[in-house]
C-alpha cells in the first residue's frame, strides 16, 4: 500500500513537472528586426487625388499631381515567394530613389515581408526600411497611389478595399497568372513608376457598378436594405445557384419595366472591364473599357432565346428572386468580383446601377443609399489604371485570348503601318 502511494506521488510529481514545461517556452522573446521599422499609418497626412486631364485626340487621360505624391499602398499576391522578393525589391527601390515617399502595406503583408529586408539594406543610409500599416479604414484614408504586384485577381482584391470611396490611381505589375489589367512587366518598374511620379503617365478609365441588396421581411411590401454602405464591383456582380443542382428563377426589370423571368444557372451583370471574365465564359460580348455600358449575360439559360444584352450605363437593373414552380424555396448565391456574399431567398432583390447613379431615381424606388445627388460626369468615379500605350486593350485580346485565332499560323499584315 505504501509502495502504491510512493509511486502515485512520484507519478504526480512527474506529471506536474511535465505540464509546467510549456510555460517557459510558449512566449518566445520578441527580437526586433533591425532592417525594418513598422509604424502606424494614422501618422500620415490624408490622401490626395490627382487630376485626370483628357484629350480629344487620345483614349487615355494624363495623370497630373497638383500636390506631391507621398503615400503609396502596395498590395501583393499572397504567399508567393517570387512576388514577395519582388515586393521587397520595389520597396527598396522607392526608399533609395524617393526617400520622401511613405510605403503602406496591410498588417499581414508587413509580417510576411519584414524578414526579407535583410538582403536589401538601404543604399543611401544605415537606417532601417520604414513601412506603415494599420486598420483598413486608416489605410484607405491615407493612400494616394495604389500599386499591385500579382495578377488580375490582385487588382480586384486591392480595389475592393476602396469599395465605398474614390479609388486612387492604380499602377499594376504582372506577377500573376492572368494579365488583362496588367500592361507592365515588373522588369520595367523603375521607368513606369518614374512616369507616375513625374505626372507624365497615361491612364485608362474603367467604370464600376454599385450593388444594393434588399431583403424581403415577409411583411407585405416592407423591405430592408441590408447593406446601406453599398458594394462596388470592378468586374462583375453574379447571381448563381451556388452548390445546389437546381436552376434559379429570377425576375429581371430594366428602368422599372419588366423584362423577363428567366430559369437559368444565374445571371452575370458586368462592367466592360469584366466583359473578358465570367461574362465572356457565359457567351457575353467583349466590350472596350471606354464604352459606357452595363452587360447583362445569362448563365446557361433554359431558353435559348435569352441572349446577352449590352445596356446603357445609366440603366437601373433590378433582379428579384422568384419562387420556382411547385416550390417556395429558391436560394440564390450572390458574388461580387468573385467573392461570395450572402445567400438570397424568394422575394429578395438586388439593385444595380453604375457608380455615379442613374437618371431614373425618381421612378424606380432605388434603395435610399443611392438616392443622393450625383453627377454622371463625376471625374473621380471608377478606377483609373496606368496604361502602357493606347493599344493595350487590342494587344490584350490578341495575346491573352487568341482573338479569332485559326489553326493555321497567322502573320501580321505587312502592308499597313502599325
Which pLDDT score, from 0 to 100, does residue 7 have? Answer: 46
Rounded Cα distance, 284 and 270, in Å = 10
Higher pLDDT, 72 or 115: 72
Task: Return the percentage of the chain with pLDDT > 70, whole number.
Answer: 77
Q: How confident is the model at residue 378 (pLDDT cuts 50, 70, 90)?
A: low
Backbone angles phi, psi at 255, to 5 degrees: 55, 40
Catalytic residue among 144, 152, 236, 265: 152
Which pLDDT score, from 0 to 100, does residue 31 have? Answer: 39
| CATH annotation of 36-206 | 3.40.50.10330
> Please, where in the chain does CATH 3.40.50.10330 lie?
36-206
Q: Which element (helix H / strand E) includes 149?
A: strand 145-150
Higher pLDDT, 239 or 402: 239
Q: How confident is the model at residue 409 (pLDDT cuts 50, 70, 90)?
A: low
Q: How confident is the model at residue 134 (pLDDT cuts 50, 70, 90)?
A: very high
Rounded Cα distance, 317 and 287, in Å = 19
Q: How confident is the model at residue 25 (pLDDT cuts 50, 70, 90)?
A: very low
Q: What is the mean pLDDT of the chain?
A: 84
Which pLDDT score, from 0 to 100, does residue 116 have? Answer: 82
Read off the pTM.
0.84
pLDDT tens digits, one per residue of 277-316: 999 999 999 999 999 999 999 999 999 999 999 999 999 9
Q: How confident is the model at residue 216 (pLDDT cuts 50, 70, 90)?
A: confident
pLDDT tens digits, one per residue of 329-352: 678 999 999 999 989 999 999 999
Using CA atoms of 58, 61, 65, 70 in order, give the dihedral in degrees to the nearest 10. -130
- Whether the per-residue pLDDT at 368 is higher than 50: the answer is no
Q: Which has the minimum average pLDDT: 64-68, 287-291, 292-296, 394-398?
A: 394-398
Which pLDDT score, from 0 to 100, does residue 35 have? Answer: 81
> Please, where in the chain does CATH 2.60.200.30 lie?
209-370
CATH class of the domain defined by 209-370 = mainly beta
* Known active-site residue 380: no
CB 301 within 8 A of CB 262: yes
Which pLDDT score, from 0 to 100, does residue 330 have? Answer: 72
- Whether the per-residue pLDDT at 122 is higher than 90: the answer is no
List Cβ<8 Å contacts ≥24 apart for 92-99: 92/117, 92/120, 92/122, 92/129, 93/189, 93/190, 93/193, 94/193, 95/122, 95/124, 95/129, 95/130, 96/122, 96/123, 96/124, 97/190, 98/197, 99/124
Amino acid at each position: 500500500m505504501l509502495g502504491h502511494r510512493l509511486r502515485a506521488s512520484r507519478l504526480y510529481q512527474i506529471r506536474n513537472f511535465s505540464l509546467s514545461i510549456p510555460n517557459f517556452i510558449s512566449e518566445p522573446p520578441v527580437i526586433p528586426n533591425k532592417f525594418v521599422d513598422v509604424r502606424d499609418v494614422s501618422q500620415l497626412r490624408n490622401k490626395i487625388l490627382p487630376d485626370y486631364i483628357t484629350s480629344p485626340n487620345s483614349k487615355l487621360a494624363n495623370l497630373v499631381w497638383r500636390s506631391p505624391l507621398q503615400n503609396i499602398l502596395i498590395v501583393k499576391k499572397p504567399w508567393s515567394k517570387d512576388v514577395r522578393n519582388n515586393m521587397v525589391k520595389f520597396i527598396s527601390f522607392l526608399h533609395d530613389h524617393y526617400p520622401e515617399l511613405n510605403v503602406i502595406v496591410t498588417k499581414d503583408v508587413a509580417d510576411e515581408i519584414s524578414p526579407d529586408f535583410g538582403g536589401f539594406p538601404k543604399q543611401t543610409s544605415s537606417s532601417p526600411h520604414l513601412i506603415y500599416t494599420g486598420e483598413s479604414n486608416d489605410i484607405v484614408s491615407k493612400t494616394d497611389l495604389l500599386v499591385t504586384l500579382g495578377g488580375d485577381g490582385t487588382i480586384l482584391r486591392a480595389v475592393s478595399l476602396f469599395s465605398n470611396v474614390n479609388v486612387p490611381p492604380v499602377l499594376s505589375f504582372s506577377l500573376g497568372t492572368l494579365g488583362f489589367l496588367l500592361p507592365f512587366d515588373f522588369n520595367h518598374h523603375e521607368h513606369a513608376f518614374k512616369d507616375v511620379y513625374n505626372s507624365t503617365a497615361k491612364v485608362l478609365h474603367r467604370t464600376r457598378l454599385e450593388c444594393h441588396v434588399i431583403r424581403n421581411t415577409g411583411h407585405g411590401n416592407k423591405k430592408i436594405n441590408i447593406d446601406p454602405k453599398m458594394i462596388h464591383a470592378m468586374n462583375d456582380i453574379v447571381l448563381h445557384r451556388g452548390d445546389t443542382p437546381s436552376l434559379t428563377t429570377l425576375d429581371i426589370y430594366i428602368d422599372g419595366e419588366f423584362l423577363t423571368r428567366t430559369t437559368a444557372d444565374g445571371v452575370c451583370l458586368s462592367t466592360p472591364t469584366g466583359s473578358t471574365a465570367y461574362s465572356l465564359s457565359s457567351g457575353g460580348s467583349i466590350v472596350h473599357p471606354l464604352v459606357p455600358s452595363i452587360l447583362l449575360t445569362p448563365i446557361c439559360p433554359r431558353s435559348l432565346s435569352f441572349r446577352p444584352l449590352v445596356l446603357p450605363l445609366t440603366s437601373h437593373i433590378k433582379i428579384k428572386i422568384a419562387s420556382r414552380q411547385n416550390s417556395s424555396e429558391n436560394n440564390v448565391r450572390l458574388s461580387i468580383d468573385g467573392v461570395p456574399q450572402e445567400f438570397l431567398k424568394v422575394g429578395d432583390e438586388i439593385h444595380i446601377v453604375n457608380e455615379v447613379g442613374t437618371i431614373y431615381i425618381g421612378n424606380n424606388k432605388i434603395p435610399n443609399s443611392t438616392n443622393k445627388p450625383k453627377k454622371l460626369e463625376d471625374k473621380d468615379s471608377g478606377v483609373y489604371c496606368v496604361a502602357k500605350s493606347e493599344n493595350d486593350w487590342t494587344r490584350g485580346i490578341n495575346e491573352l485570348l487568341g482573338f479569332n485565332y485559326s489553326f493555321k499560323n497567322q502573320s501580321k499584315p505587312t502592308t499597313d503601318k502599325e
